[in-house]
């Protein structure tokens, strides 16, 4: 049918006035990289205005955008300058992003970021609040609190989503794919010592709450935290930090290869750290030392593969004043809150890691990752929590020792495919982890000297896993479903002499082997109304494994306690400079792990399983950019943790947090002045199951101010700005002090450090 000249002219005028190019819809592939480092940028947003198509780059910086109708693409990412790129049809795009000002306007809500719910928060927080220590890295996660109670070299106690996760029983922690949590560790199941990570080497981190992620297995009940180290340094750096309590930290980070090599896809750097501190105003100075060495090498192998090799080693030693009961000061057993009742407490630990990873482009949009890793770990800790309760003559001091080799493999293959108007992302993975532990040891000691074994044996633990995960994005909807399978084999051989009645009574005549498999389904959905608002629902099953000693002692009972959870949440940008994430959640746990009970972590501790628990709560996080140079952040996390098989009034979960909150006000001026002030608040909570004892809360304020130039940076960081008296860690113990005639059930605590100032000088070259 012929159109009149007038109609043709009208159509042309309408098209021209709309600003839309007259071209057929096409499919565009591309890769987004950092202009300085030439490394891929993950989670950059790529948009085609005329069609409304939006895509997010994967971890290799790649994207495929379907149904492109314009002649250019708009690319944006927080911390980079936004770009408008002309399209070259039929040729993959290579887009270099320049560093730019940090602005919340660059945070875009899309259906490609359902499992990167917090990606906008992580990029902003890491840039505005650079981590000063491994502890600071953990505190970056909204709602996650930590506590130290046995000297600076010991892994932190972790609190998240109504969990006292001890040192990691319910929070999966990893660095560059290397697991941090220790299975069947002498001090406690899931022990996650992150001190081998130098904070300045971290380029990004990812976290998720709940058991909803198919690639995350053991310990992923409250959630997971995954850190990624830099592929290449932006610049070389030497840093010196000096603070109160004889604190001295020295750091060097050096690129080993130049710009020419980086442009060819090859880079290498090394980082080293040395720390000494007395730890605070304790009567027993910690003499805490830590040495860290880290190296990373990347190179291309042909046009299709990239090889990454990582090696690191940690050595750390310290003394500890330990916990003291409330009555120790009031009854003059110690001169102050910072006193000590057993001067032999302290520890020494080492960890050496090696990892090699090969990423290969298989063609036809398939990519494969293969990672092999190895760790050697040693742990020696002397503690005394109950003093003269179990052993009235010699005292209750004990030593925990753990020496192990760990081997593992992580592999996955994944593909993104566009069919009509739907995008399918398929991921399949497999892996294993093997821990060979000898000895796994618990000794009775006096003044640090061995008296006799409480437990002594060797343990082996194998986990084989596989999973499949499918994500479908169509229109404003995104659906995800995954299935994970895990197999565990536990072995524990008691080697303690027969005179050790404690171990003999537990392990006599039991089969040293046990095994179990578990299937964990996951499913999620999200609807993105527009670039300002998204609703999502997540549901899934997870688990945390039990200590091999507990598994064998209980003849395989409750080997892999399960967790079932659900989240209903929203991401919302009501204004360009305001980002909000909120979720209501529920989690059921088949068996709670509590300190000193399931984990056999003190002399005479029972090994009977704990009861079932249920938790529900709200997570709320907001980030607001007030001006170009001023940012505000706020998090609040109420939770209600309860045992569900105990009578009302006796169903409190000891030490589980019920309300936490953090907030910060950060500034960054063009003249180089930057920093911020922040608080962290932990509400009072039950210290025992009937709430007859209270673990006291706290409100602590920190301050940091820096002056940063191209070649140097000077700064001051102050912890506990207002010099508040607070308790960092608290536990219920039935203890007996020297000369007491009977034991007392009471809260013991480690006092938090008072006002602590630290100066730093960094030189860049």
58-98 pLDDT per residue, tens = 888 888 887 788 888 889 888 898 888 888 777 788 899 99
What was the pLDDT predicted at 690? 96
Mean pLDDT across 365-387:
96
Q: What is the CB neighbour count within 10 angstroms for residue 14?
A: 10
Spacing of C-alpha 392 from chain mean position: 41
Contact between 400 and 182 under an 8 Å Cβ cutoff? The reply is no
Tell me the two tokens of residue 305. 């593969």
| Domain with residues 21-100, CATH architecture | Sandwich (2.60)
| Residue ranges per structural domain of the chain | 21-100, 119-764
What was the pLDDT predicted at 676? 96
What tens digit of pLDDT does each residue of 475-506 get? 899 999 999 999 999 999 999 888 877 777 78
What are phi and psi for residue 613, nearest 5 degrees?
Answer: -135, 160
Half-sphere exposure of 626 (CA within 13 A, CB side): 10
Higher pLDDT, residue 150 or 540: 540
Q: What CATH number labels 119-764?
A: 2.40.170.20
What tens digit of pLDDT does each residue of 587-622 get? 999 999 765 444 344 555 445 567 899 999 999 999
What was the pLDDT predicted at 602? 52
By the 10 Å C-beta count (0-12 exposed, 13-18 middle, 19+ buried), 360 is classed as middle
Strand partners, 413: 368, 428
What was the pLDDT predicted at 11? 37
Using the CB atoms, write b or e for 585-617: b if 16+ within 10 Å. bbbbbbbbbbbbbbbbbbbebebebbbbbbbbb
Residues present in the chain in total = 765
Residues with Cβ within 8 Å of residue 602, at least 6 apart in sequence = 383, 385, 386, 398, 596
Pairing verdict, β 422-446 and 247-255: unpaired
What tens digit of pLDDT does each residue of 668-677 get? 999 999 999 9
Report the helix count and the strand count for the chain, using DSSP H and E.
7, 43
Tell me the two tokens of residue 158. 């972790």
Secondary structure class of 763 (helix, strand, coil) = strand
- Binned at pLDDT 50, 70 and 90, residue 10 comes out as very low
pLDDT at 17 over 50: no
What was the pLDDT predicted at 48? 84
């Amino acid at each position: 049918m012929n159109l009149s000249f007038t109609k043709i002219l009208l159509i042309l005028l309408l098209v021209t006035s709309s600003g839309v190019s007259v071209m057929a819809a096409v499919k565009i592939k591309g890769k987004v990289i950092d202009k300085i480092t030439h490394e891929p940028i993950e989670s950059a947003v790529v948009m085609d205005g005329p069609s409304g198509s939006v895509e997010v780059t994967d971890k290799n910086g790649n994207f495929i955008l379907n149904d492109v109708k314009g002649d250019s693409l708009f690319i944006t990412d927080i911390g980079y300058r936004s770009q408008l790129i002309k399209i070259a049809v039929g040729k993959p795009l290579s887009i270099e992003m320049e560093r730019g000002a940090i602005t919340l306007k660059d945070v875009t809500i899309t259906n490609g970021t359902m499992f990167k719910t917090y990606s906008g928060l992580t990029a902003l927080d890491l840039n505005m609040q650079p981590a000063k220590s491994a502890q600071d890295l953990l505190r970056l996660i909204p709602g996650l609190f930590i506590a130290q109670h046995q000297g600076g070299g010991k892994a932190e106690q972790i609190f998240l989503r109504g969990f006292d996760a001890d040192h990691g029983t319910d929070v999966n922690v990893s660095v560059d794919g290397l697991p941090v949590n220790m299975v069947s560790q002498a001090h406690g199941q899931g022990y996650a010592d992150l001190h081998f990570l130098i904070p300045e080497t971290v380029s990004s981190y990812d976290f998720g709450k709940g058991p909803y992620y198919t690639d995350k297995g053991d310990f992923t009940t409250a959630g997971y935290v995954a850190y990624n180290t830099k592929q290449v340094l932006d610049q070389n750096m030497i840093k010196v930090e000096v603070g109160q309590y004889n604190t001295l930290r020295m750091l060097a980070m050096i690129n080993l290869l130049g710009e020419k090599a980086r442009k060819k896809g090859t880079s290498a750097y090394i980082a080293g750290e040395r720390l000494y501190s007395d730890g605070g105003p304790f009567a027993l100075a910690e003499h805490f030392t830590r040495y860290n060495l880290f190296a990373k090498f990347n190179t291309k192998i042909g046009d299709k593969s990239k090889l990454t090799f990582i090696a690191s080693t940690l050595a750390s030693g310290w003394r500890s004043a330990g916990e003291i009961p409330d009555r120790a000061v009031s009854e003059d057993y110690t001169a102050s809150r910072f006193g000590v009742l057993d001067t032999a407490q302290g520890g020494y630990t080492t960890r050496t890691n090696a990892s090699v990873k090969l990423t290969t482009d298989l063609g036809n949009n398939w990519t494969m990752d293969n990672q092999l890793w190895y760790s050697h770990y040693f742990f020696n800790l002397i503690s005394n929590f109950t003093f003269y309760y179990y052993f009235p003559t010699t005292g209750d001091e004990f030593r925990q020792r753990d020496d192990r080799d760990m081997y593992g493999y992580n592999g996955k293959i994944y593909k993104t495919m566009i069919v009509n108007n739907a995008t399918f992302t398929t991921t399949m993975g497999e892996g294993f982890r093997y821990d060979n532990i000898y000895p796994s040891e618990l000794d009775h000691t006096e003044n640090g000297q061995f008296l006799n074994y409480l437990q002594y044996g060797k343990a082996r633990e194998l986990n084989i896993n596989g999973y499949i995960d499918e994500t479908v994005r169509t229109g404003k909807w995104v659906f995800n479903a995954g299935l994970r399978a895990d197999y565990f084999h536990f072995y524990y051989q008691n080697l303690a002499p027969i005179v050790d009645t404690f171990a003999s009574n537990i392990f006599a005549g039991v089969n040293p082997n046990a095994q179990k498999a578990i299937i964990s389904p996951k499913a999620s959905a999200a609807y993105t109304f527009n670039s300002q608002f998204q609703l999502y629902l997540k549901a899934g099953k997870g688990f945390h494994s039990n200590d091999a000693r507990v598994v064998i002692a209980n003849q395989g009972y409750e080997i892999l306690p399960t967790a079932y959870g659900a989240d209903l949440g929203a991401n919302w940008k009501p204004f360009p400079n305001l980002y909000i994430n909120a979720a209501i959640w529920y989690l059921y746990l088949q068996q709670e792990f509590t300190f000193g009970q399931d984990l056999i972590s003190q002399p005479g501790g029972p090994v009977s399983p704990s009861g079932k628990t249920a938790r529900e709560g709200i997570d709320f996080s907001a980030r607001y950019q007030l001006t170009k140079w001023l940012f505000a952040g706020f998090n609040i996390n109420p939770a209600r943790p309860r045992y569900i098989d105990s009578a009302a009034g006796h169903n409190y979960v000891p030490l589980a947090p019920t309300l936490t909150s953090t907030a910060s006000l950060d500034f960054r001026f063009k003249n180089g002045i930057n920093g911020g002030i922040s608080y962290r608040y932990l509400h009072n909570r039950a210290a025992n199951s009937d709430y007859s004892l209270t673990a006291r809360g706290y409100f602590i304020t920190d301050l940091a101010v820096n002056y940063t130039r191209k070649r140097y940076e000077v700064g001051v960081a102050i912890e506990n700005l207002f010099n508040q008296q607070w308790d960092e860690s608290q536990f219920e113990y039935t203890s007996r002090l020297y000369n007491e005639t009977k034991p007392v059930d009471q809260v013991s605590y480690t006092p938090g450090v008072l006002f602590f100032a630290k100066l730093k000088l960094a030189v860049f070259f």
